[in-house]
Amino acid sequence: MSAGRTVRTDPAGERADGTADGAGEHRPAGAARKDARSPLAALLAALRISRRDALRARGRSALIMVMVGLPVLAVTVMLTWYATEDLTLSERLPMELGSADARLEDTREAGPVRQGEDGLHWQPRGQEPPRPPRSQAEVQALAGPGSRVIPMSEDFRSYWRGAAYSEVAVHEVDLRDPMTEGMFPLLSGRYPESADEVVVTGSVEAGIGTTLRYRHTRDDVPKRVVGIVREQPREYGRTVVGLPGGLIPADAEAAARRYWLLDAPAPVGWEETLRLNRAGLAVLSGTVLADPPPAGDGPRDALADFRHVGGAHALLYPVLVVTLLVIEVALLAGPAFAVGLRRRRRELALLAAQGASARHLKLVVLADGLTLGLAGSVLGALLGVGAARVAVSAAGVWPDGGLGPFEVPVGLVALTVGLGVLSAVAAAVVPAVQAGRTSPAAVLAGRPPRPRDRAGWPLLGLLLTAAGTGATAYGRAETEWILGGAVLGLLGLVLLAPLLVKLAGGLAGALPLPLRLAVRDAVRNRGRTAPAVVAVMAAAAAFSTVAVTEASTERSRVERYRPAYPVGTVAVHGDDVTEESWQKIRQIVERALPGVPLVEAYQAVDDAGRIVHFDREDGRCEGCSFSVGPLGELPVGGPALLRFLLGRPDPAAEAALAEGKAVIFNPAAVRDGKARFHIWTQALSGTGEPKEVSLPATTAAVRGPSTVLGVLPLSAPAEAGLEARLHHLVVDPAVTRLTPEQARGIDAPVRAVTPNVAVRLERGVPENRPDTTRFLWIMAAITSVVMLGGTFTAAGLALADARPDLATLSAVGARPRTRRLAAAGQALFIAGLGAPLGLLVGLVPGLALAIRQGEARDRVLEVALNGVPLERAETALAVPWPVLLTVGLGLPLLAALAVAVCTRTTVTLTRRIA
């Protein structure tokens, strides 16, 4: 530059002489000043400056992009996976129709029906009574000439899995027919050729050539497995497929869904669908789905789909999740922008000295968030889509796997990218405000501005924290309030964090020198420290909430467990067991347990063999839900059964039972020596008319809550017009306590008599309940990774920002160990303040959620049949202190140790300007 000539560059990158910076094109100076004042020109200039700075500081830029892009990547993978896994009806057509043109459903309506475009929901047009199921000949006639139909039925039955019966979806269809191609692709073996052959999905766990004990009616029938077929994704689970007529009993066909696959000479469009609707058939057709008719109330319109609209209530969870995501990313990326601001002070001071306003400086810093956030979010979304594609390919697409066609939810992914950008811009807001207060004279003179001693917005933070606590307390009525309160509390802590950091810094005077230096540096740079502390705090609070909720649920499950029998009881019980089978079972048990007395318990049944249920004549107490065990409300038996239920001998009650009186455990049920009941001859939810009976009765006191109302004498059922059917053979633990090996010894021989009987040893609380402790430790490990990531990032930024201070330490003779301890102190302060405080904060919503779940289970007070209330679940609260203390105390120490090991001891001395 020639002597005597000064060139000034304005914020828009123009030179005062009208020449573009770095170019030879001349423009009038007035036009440059006008462009600089233009908001769009200022934004474009800020974006150019941000792009150049991002390329110069590649390490810091990559760090910010990773912190923004990783959540976007994770959410993109999740959204893409769910979109691919969630099959639409059009995508499911090969599974529903095979290669058929349509599927006809027998609605059993005598008159016409209206259906939706998918044929899955329909309604009758008239009020005609249902008609009997249509035969295949009738459906063939309705399908028209040139068409062919084959039957298909669906139902749910059960099969024996070796330890218990499990429900299984049942399909009756001839898979050898070309119309069924693609419905259940064959993996191995062959399709059934006779009524005693079936194919199964892999989840049934039955190999080819094995025999499946399939419950056809009351008894099991053997079915030979001849093939393994592909399980339809997210539909039926365990599935058994056989030929028509081989799996669904004749008396159950009325409850089963009956279909016909249709091979038509022409596509089945809406006109043909309306014709079949008039005959009472609902139609699923690919042609109609591809060209759907209008929905409405017109005679030719499709029935409107009934879709659940959740409104604001359904949007609350996504809004809360999005809010937490934005806050967490902003808190993690905020310190990086704060450090970037310190390293760009001279550049911003030059801009301010040349006429840039505070608004321009803020815009430059916000442009960093926009540029890096957009780059990180887009890169994360692209990598997420690629990772999802690899995962889908590995899992397999139907029929090779359980997923549908690869699908990217573009709208949701774009929204996720937008949230990532918003998070990055939000992270740059506080540094942008600080940039607007830049003092050009102090910075250019080499005197960094003294950080303002601000404690955030403590009053607003206290207000939000109080509001969040109140919402959480109110959350005992609504779970959404608990989550909303947690978000409000987190926002309050964000505003309170600078004050908390300042207060914690007051303890630095009692610490050793390295830690004292680290704490004071953290307090002096609260704009960098506070966001990192809150980020660690948020992760710890989320973990604490989940841990307390899971531990309380497990404790509630244990405390609420109600044993079916006294602990130690061995019971042989079953429904639909013939008297001949009971005789064989008794002989088996007596041979296996010689000399052990067996207690007999009977149940009252009607003339059709249906179990009779008893209800107190004066009605159930309002707001009470009665607990009924496997013995029923009123088992029938003799003195041995009474002693078993009472847990002690009662000579007076036993004598009354022998005289033909009922022994009732609830004194309120006996009046004037009589017990009056309503008896129901159907299931508890049946619609039959109750019958009133009155029996002579006496009372007996039972210890604690009882799952039975009392004991009826053997003569009582006959007096009420009922029969007594043997239901239990019990080994009373007060008389003989069997070992688990003895109980298992009678299990197999008894089950060989009939599959309708079971042997049970009452052990108390199940030992095979879910392992909550293992789950909590896994959650602790995942949370620790997030917390350590935030701690290491903040500690690394603090070390980069504190290079002059470390150089000063070296200049005055500090040993490398001192510098290591100072670096470790940064991590210890951030994690040591954020982790314990976050765990304590998370206890509030965690306990509130546990109480909420307990109250949901106890919405109706559970009362035993003798009138004694059971314990309420809200007292079942648990805090997993070992896991919480490990995270709260061990994690900060681990973070400090890792930083101390990884910190370099070589320090480059820096030149200071006084």
Q: Domain extents for the chain?
A: 1-37, 95-290, 468-561+771-914, 570-761
Question: Which of the listed ranges 33-42, 174-183, 327-336, 567-576 does the model predict with the highest average pLDDT?
Answer: 174-183
Which two three-digit tokens encode residue 414? 């774009």
Of 665, 655, 656, 658, the C-alpha closest to 634 is 665
CB atoms within 10 A of CB 195: 15
* Cα 286 to Cα 92: distance, rounded to the nearest angstrom: 10
Over 80: is that where the pLDDT of 571 sits?
yes
Angle at 191 between CA 187 and CA 197, to 5 degrees: 120
With bands split at pLDDT 50, 70 and 90, how would you rate the model's confidence at 620? Answer: very low
* Cα 693 to Cα 677: distance, rounded to the nearest angstrom: 5
With bands split at pLDDT 50, 70 and 90, how would you rate the model's confidence at 691? Answer: confident
Task: Name the β-bridge partners of 153.
Answer: 172, 258
Of 842, 763, 745, 829, the C-alpha closest to 791 is 829
Over 90: is that where the pLDDT of 316 sits?
no
Which of 14-18, 196-200, 272-276 is predicted with the least confidence, judged by mean pLDDT?
14-18
DSSP 203: G
Residues 6+ apart with CB under 8 A from 324: 487, 490, 538, 542
Looking from the CA of 285 toward its CB, the CA atoms found within 13 Å total 27
Over 80: is that where the pLDDT of 642 sits?
yes
* Cα 187 to Cα 194: distance, rounded to the nearest angstrom: 19
Over 60: is that where the pLDDT of 769 sits?
no
Mean pLDDT estimate for the chain: 78
* Cα 880 to Cα 246: distance, rounded to the nearest angstrom: 53
In one-letter notation, the amino acid at residue 480 is E
Query: Which pTM value belongs to this model?
Result: 0.62
Residues 6+ apart with CB under 8 A from 408: 80, 83, 385, 388
Q: What is the pLDDT of residues 888-911, one digit of tens each?
A: 888 889 888 888 887 766 655 555
Region 650-676: mean pLDDT is 88
Of 340, 315, 538, the C-alpha closest to 424 is 340
Which two three-digit tokens encode residue 512? 């050793």
pLDDT the model gives residue 639:
92
In one-letter notation, the amino acid at residue 902 is C
Residues 6+ apart with CB under 8 A from 132: 108
Over 80: is that where the pLDDT of 496 sits?
yes
Q: What is the pLDDT of residues 431-472, one digit of tens each?
A: 888 777 777 777 776 666 665 555 667 888 888 888 888 877
Of 678, 715, 714, 718, the C-alpha closest to 694 is 678
Over 50: is that where the pLDDT of 913 sits?
no
Q: What is the pLDDT of residues 733-743, one digit of tens each?
A: 888 888 888 88
Question: Which of the listed ranges 32-36, 400-404, 658-662, 787-791 does the model predict with the highest average pLDDT?
Answer: 658-662
Q: What is the pLDDT of residues 356-409, one digit of tens each?
A: 788 888 888 888 889 988 998 999 899 999 989 998 888 877 777 767 788 898
Which of 346-360, 380-394, 851-865 is predicted with the least confidence, judged by mean pLDDT?
851-865
Over 50: is that where the pLDDT of 692 sits?
yes
* Cα 448 to Cα 433: distance, rounded to the nearest angstrom: 16
Query: Of all residues in the chain, what percent carry a pLDDT higher than 90?
Result: 12
Which two three-digit tokens encode residue 31? 């036009």
Residues 6+ apart with CB under 8 A from 576: 218, 609, 756
Is the Cβ–Cβ distance between 465 and 489 less than 8 Å? yes
Over 90: is that where the pLDDT of 864 sits?
no
Region 623-643: mean pLDDT is 77
* Cα 717 to Cα 634: distance, rounded to the nearest angstrom: 11
* Cα 65 to Cα 57: distance, rounded to the nearest angstrom: 12
Residues 6+ apart with CB under 8 A from 279: 112, 142
pLDDT the model gives residue 224:
92
Question: Which of the listed ranges 90-94, 274-278, 451-455 does the model predict with the highest average pLDDT?
Answer: 274-278
Label residue 576 left, alpha or beta by phi (over 0 means left) and psi (-120 to 50 means alpha): left
Helix, strand or coil for residue 288? Answer: helix
Helix, strand or coil for residue 86? Answer: coil
Going 9 to 10 to 14 to 17, the CA torsion angle's sign is negative
Question: Which residue is associated with the tokens 């899971």?
Answer: 550
Burial 806-845 (b: 16+ CB within 10 A, else e): bbebbeeebeeebbbbbbbbbbbbbbbbbbbbbbebbbbb
Annotate 212-258 with three-state secondary structure: EEEECCCCEEEEEEEEEECCCCCCCCCEEEECCCCCCCHHHCCCCEE
Question: Which residue is associated with the tokens 């509030």?
Answer: 844
pLDDT the model gives residue 312:
42
Which two three-digit tokens encode residue 852? 């909420």
pLDDT the model gives residue 252:
62
Of 111, 112, 150, 155, the C-alpha closest to 257 is 155
* Cα 470 to Cα 464: distance, rounded to the nearest angstrom: 10
Region 466-485: mean pLDDT is 73
Separation in Å, CA 307 to CA 311, 535, 683, 728: 12, 39, 32, 47
